[in-house]
Structure 1
Amino acid sequence: MRIFINLVALAMASAASLACAAKDDPLDSARWQDMRAMFFADALVVFDERVQVHAPATAENPLDVPVLVDATRLPGVVEEVVVFADFNPIVKALDFQPLGARASLGFRLKLQQSSPVRAAARTADGRWHVGGTWVNTTGGGCTLPSTGSGSTEWQERLNEVSARIWPRIDGGLRVRLRIIHPMDTGLAPGVPVFHIDTLTLRDAAGAELMRIHPAEPVAENPVFTVDLPPSVAAGPLALVGRDNNGNRIAAEVAR
């Protein structure tokens, strides 16, 4: 009997601990514990206001929600950043490794319904620092076909890259990259999954500046904004990558 009572007490304590952890989520999401188990396993996770996710409080177009992730306020080296939306049918939006770039990235996202949009930044000590914001939307962004999937133009221009570069006030550069691609999630009837899955930005000396692994929820014809420090080698930048069908991406970005 004593063993049974102890087991019951242990179960109640575990349930209370989980309930407490859910309440600790600053965004008060019913799916936070699922997100924690999915992305972090047994790693140490902390909510951290220094990891900022900027997005509209209300997104009028669920197919094209602008998001800016900024983990530059964290001390030390940020090794990886994962971005996800709790209530999307495909939760993970992308991950990126800053390498020689600043630990920030702008892009556009598809949302199926109102959801927390979160970024988790892993520092060199193995700790994940999580920030986020709620985005309200009418929904349907992940289950609608892309406009490109119904047009022949994207086939002619698939993986075409355009870019702009601006000087930053700190002496570095801001690089905006746009890639022609339908980024289909595979959730629209009759439209198979088709998305970019690997991008690498390199400097003129061949050093990697940022690796980006977009997933299906990234918006059609994705636009990525990357900030580079003043130390980046002079000369043109190179963008290389591929999509999940093996189609290659290769472009030189003049400075």
Structure 2
Amino acid sequence: MRPTYRDRRRWCGWLVALSQLTVLYWLLVGAALAEPPEDPYRSPMWHYNLARYLGEAADIRHSDRVVLKVPHFAEDATQVPLTVDLSAFEHEVAEVVTWIDLNPVPHLFTLRPEAAEVRTVALNFRIQQASTVRAAVRDEQGRWHVGSAHVEAAGGGCTAPSATASNPDWAASFGQLRGALFSPAGGLAGARLKAQLMHPMDSGMVSHIPRFHIEHLELRGASDQGRLASMSLSESASENPLFVFDLEHDGKEDGITLWMRDNGGNVFESRLGG
């Protein structure tokens, strides 16, 4: 018996309804997958900063393999040490983003390894009030692994005037770059770069003092000047920044060139090791 016109319309209606339900199902599944995990520190800026720095639809998970080392209490709110230890991270590191949730400018730095494997990066930062600090690491598949830690602080670090710039002789030491390349203890592979630049790193949050800070850094192979890693910095970085990198790359016997540029167009460069 041939189906009637009414039967065909009924079947078409069912097919349309089924396709709509299928689309709705996958939309709901996609939304559930994109929903970030809850923040154990219950920071009010958790969701906002994730979307701002990692993207609205980022695949995010907490990870104890991203080890974020900060003091429990910031004795000096203008100089708070931070170390991101990735020695136990089992994936390839494609990008590292760090931020301080409650700072006026939360972003601290974004690091992108290129021809080097970076296992540790350390830098001091300013903190405006007690806050949770984050380090998010993107792996080779685009997934973000987040390590978090909380720092208690009396605050005011972002709006405190630079001690360097208040020295009448600060211009004489401005731009001095001191550093060295070390072999890690215990016979481990790789190298440790440690360098400090004399720079006021003004945050722009002090009256009549404009923003003036290092905004870009590159590590380059000393022999071929090929880029090993690059870093962008924001106003939360401390004055006279001290950088520490543990990394492994080909040609490490030749040394590394450290190159930096501030937002005033000043360039600072030094060859370390080799």
TM-score by length of 1: 0.87
CA distance in 2, matches of 1:252, 1:216: 26
Q: CA deviation at 1:74?
A: 2.6
Amino acid at match of 1:189: S
CA distance in 2, matches of 1:175, 1:22: 35
* Structure 1 residues without counterparts, runs of 5 or longer: 1-13
Which of 143, 156, 167 lines up with 1:127 in the alignment? 143
Amino acid at match of 1:56: P
Give the greater-gyration-radius structure (CA): 2
In structure 1, the residue matched to 2:52 is 38
CA distance in 1, matches of 2:36, 2:181: 42
1:192 and 2:210 correspond:
yes
Structure 1 consecutive aligned stretches of length 4 or more whose deviation exceeds 6 Å:
none
Which of 205, 225, 228 lines up with 1:209 in the alignment? 228
CA distance in 2, matches of 1:31, 1:176: 32
Partner SS for 2:94: strand
Deviations 1:70-121 (A, max 9, x none): 2343333211101000000111011111220423201101000110110011
In structure 2, the residue matched to 1:6 is none
Partner SS for 1:182: coil
Q: CA deviation at 1:150?
A: 1.7
- State whether residues 194 and 244 of structure 1, in contact with CA within 8 Å, keep that contact through their aligned partners in structure 2: yes
The root-mean-square deviation of aligned C-alpha atoms, in Å, is: 2.1
- State whether residues 74 and 80 of structure 2, in contact with CA within 8 Å, keep that contact through their aligned partners in structure 1: yes
1:142 and 2:140 correspond:
no
In structure 1, the residue matched to 2:272 is 253
Q: How does 1:17-96 map to 2 (within 5 A)?
A: 24-40=38-54, 41-96=56-111
TM-score by length of 2: 0.81
- State whether residues 137 and 146 of structure 2, in contact with CA within 8 Å, keep that contact through their aligned partners in structure 1: yes
Aligned residues: 238
1:234 and 2:253 correspond:
yes
CA distance in 1, matches of 2:189, 2:143: 30
In structure 1, the residue matched to 2:25 is none
The answer to which of 137-146 and 160-169 deviates more is 160-169
- State whether residues 172 and 231 of structure 1, in contact with CA within 8 Å, keep that contact through their aligned partners in structure 2: no
CA distance in 2, matches of 1:172, 1:103: 10
Partner SS for 2:71: coil
Alpha carbons of 1:23 and 1:43: their partners in 2 closer, same or farther (altered >3 Å)?
closer
1:175 and 2:193 correspond:
yes
The answer to which of 170-179 and 23-32 deviates more is 23-32
In structure 2, the residue matched to 1:113 is 129
Q: CA deviation at 1:217?
A: 0.8
Q: CA deviation at 1:22?
A: 8.3
- State whether residues 22 and 28 of structure 1, in contact with CA within 8 Å, keep that contact through their aligned partners in structure 2: no
Alpha carbons of 1:25 and 1:57: their partners in 2 closer, same or farther (altered >3 Å)?
same
Q: CA deviation at 1:23?
A: 7.7
